Structure 1
């Protein structure tokens, strides 16, 4: 059963497409009506601030914008303040004033606007408004730097790959089910606590509900590690129960182990008893597409490695069908670029010997086109260490800001990558709070560039089956 707020939000978004023509024919709603909240805020001596504007998702026909409204009282203190949600839009190659394209009268401090019915490969000027207040990006480099959609006020839709949409995979990671506090780091940061201590649960549930909605329509879910906080029996069974309510392991969803899913070597492997035993590679097929999950964890420590037996098994599989379209997923990032650009340094990702071995295997298996990893809690499109045609993609965490998942839409002529934040009110509230982690630097680390989150790759997948295929 969907959360009422989420159901209402989706219905409002779906209905906005039909209402768009009528709305665009009018003058902007909030430009002609005096906003009720603005009047109320003035009576209370408060000033409304609309900030944290992020152009999160840009597809071929849609875009998702998020921002936050807060009220500043006479003492200068900010608090969340409900307000309306409006987006104004105009083609960038025209001279017309941006007109209201999306409006939501459900008042909230945590704004999520999904704009639909855009033209592929076209640039649009946009403005985000809450009542009479225009939203601006936060003072973070990732959205304020030159050339970003947030700084230019222009977004450009993607041009989709040619051919039919065959299958949609949701890529996710870092659920941390059972975690008591978010933002802990090497004893330097205390972390944020939710009033219920259940934020990993509702963040996961929000993502799972999202993926079943018609506008996401994920066929499969791939979770690249850290399903639990500490790999206990209770956490492992609990997260398995949540995922089993969404689908069947090995058919609808697929998982691999992360460093948080490990117990000390002298204790039982609870995660392994519920999912897969340690140092085991898993292989699945969906519509002709091959999915291979790696266990890149060590018995102790946060860094990653691969055992000789697992590496030999992978070599055997890729050698047997080198041209089969293949997605590989493992918890630890692989590339040198990932090693030097994350705060934990090279010791936080896959060790260099095994990273080189994977690059060599992929070079001899041209069917491998994407390697999905988590662990860093960020969106990052990483450069390969050698000239191979493989995309190395890190995806932001489900359990905290930016709080979402990536959809990998596979077409006959390529694939499209889009990151989405989850939409429930509870998820948007918690994501907004956790963006302040690490002295407010977390957005610069975790959000990633618009290209990291949204891009198209052309490739021949004409031999794959669609959703109705085996």
Structure 2
């Protein structure tokens, strides 16, 4: 949900916007939908250019039985073939790529061997039918390319690959957030029971576990050396859910060696019997998140680490009392500590990660105080960022969307919101560092069950969710920036990842 806590007031504001947009199926949310009997007629839908690097592109779509409704407002899933025809001229799509699965409703096709700086044209097809793009009716955007070529037709569509970052490759970091371990319904709207959330198909594993398992497998396959998880590790900080997240992240490597986490508003201290065995929270209730991830006596929930010469600062953006639905904030003690860290070694390559964004712009949904950090604190932090030549990236979650923002207060710093790991589009970003710059690319988690849940959960918020979460442009989820990172040290070989957990 936008800001994780989409309130009744938010809904009333947004509903006025949605009412003015072209209508789509609302049957998922009236509680009365029943699936029509499939008659064999299959339609493709929801084409998206998800990932675009200098040498590869990932393209996804869905196939369903025409005219049916599976109870979520979408077509009943229909297995079909899937292929992408592509080339360097719109009339010569001579190359053909197929997907991870040859007969599936959940199509994931990767084009490889692309040339940097080259314009390509492509058309995705199932059963010989061209696949239409994910529609954008609330926003101005483009789900399928870096140009408008073909958008007013059935394709082909077009993209231009970026140039690679200059210099020598150093290492990679996986960035993720909003895992929500323990959640059972995605897309709930507080106080509005008629707007139902999306649940997992009965008999399948809990979707937060499906998505995190795939995420860990995928980032390992892609060669990430480290992983940063920026908050909302759990749905409501229940000890068993935090423990499950700790165990599953441990399949990537060692906590506080290979992977690091920060707190989100859902991870705050809670009241009630499930939390009674945890330490007393600083602000309220019992703090099970701190027991799981920061168990030392008096240990703060914020930190700085050195990774191959890169300074990584993790901040706790809900270091305050509250019910989770208000703006994030750092405690006075943490803010003082943070500003002291920022004042040190200002030329040193640095990234910051924490749950709440500093600013939220260009949303199809209402932008409310709960979407971001306290405005006064955010302004102070951005002013500090402007004095830091070495700081180049601030990674945040919370909004559950892909969005790149450049603030005029600190124009050299990329403020990157990354979509939730636990629901559509369901994935993570890979930060690749080179001596002369960096690339940041979003990937959908790609196991069979992850692709199935991602497509099912796109139906959140009357089916309009993709217009918020995917990113209005390819550049909201895929960027390349030139920066001097020559002071960093390369990773010599990949670290051994496994199930061994760090001692706590």
Higher relative contact order by CA 8 Å / sep ≥ 6: 1 or 2?
A: 2
Preserved CA contact (<8 Å) 1:143 1:150: no
Structure 2 counterpart of 1:232, from 229, 238, 248? 238
Partner of 1:187: 191
Aligned residue for 1:291?
A: 312
Matching of residue 130 in structure 1 with residue 134 in structure 2: no
Preserved contact between residue 48 and residue 71 of structure 1 (Cα < 8 Å): yes
What is the deviation of 1:458? 0.5
1:119 to 105, 115, 118: 115
Q: Kindly state the Cα deviation for residue 198 of structure 1 after the two structures are TM-superposed.
A: 0.6
Looking at structure 2, the residues matched to 363 and 443 of structure 1 have their Cα atoms a distance apart, in angstroms, of 33
Q: Is 1:46–1:74's contact at 8 Å kept on the other side of the alignment?
A: no
Whole-angstrom distance in 2 between the partners of 1:145 and 1:245: 33
Change over 3 Å in CA distance of 1:348–1:402 after alignment to 2: same
The equivalent position to 2:406 in structure 1, one of 383, 398, 410, is 383
Q: What pairs up with 1:153-302 in 2 under 5 angstroms? A: 153-188=157-192, 189-194=195-200, 195=202, 196=204, 198-213=206-221, 216-264=222-270, 265-276=283-294, 280-297=301-318, 298-300=320-322, 301-302=324-325
392-401 or 98-107, larger mean C-alpha shift: 98-107
More helix by share: 1
Unpaired runs of 5+ in structure 2? 1-37, 271-282, 496-504
3-state DSSP class of the match of 1:111? strand
Match of 2:333 among 309, 314, 321: 309
Q: How far is the alpha carbon of 1:342 from its aligned partner?
A: 5.3
Give the secondary structure class of the aligned counterpart of 1:203: helix
Check the 8 A contact 2:143/2:474 in 1, yes or no: no
Q: Once structures 1 and 2 are overlaid, which stretch shifts more, 181-190 or 82-91?
A: 181-190
Shift of 1:148: 4.7
The number of residue pairs the alignment matches comes to 422
Distance 1:373 1:254 in 2: 14
Over the aligned positions, Cα root-mean-square deviation in angstroms equals: 2.4
Q: Which moved more, 1:418-427 or 1:83-92?
A: 83-92
1:138 positional shift: 2.8
Note the C-alpha offset of 1:285: 0.9
The equivalent position to 2:378 in structure 1, one of 355, 358, 370, is 355
User: SS where residue 102 of structure 2 aligns?
Assistant: strand
CA contact (8 A) 2:315 2:354 kept: yes
Shift of 1:149: 6.9
Q: What are the Cα deviations for residues 405-454 of structure 1, in whole angstroms up to 9, with x where unaligned?
A: 01111111101111000111101111101111100110000000201011
Contact 1:60 1:119 in 2 (8 A): yes
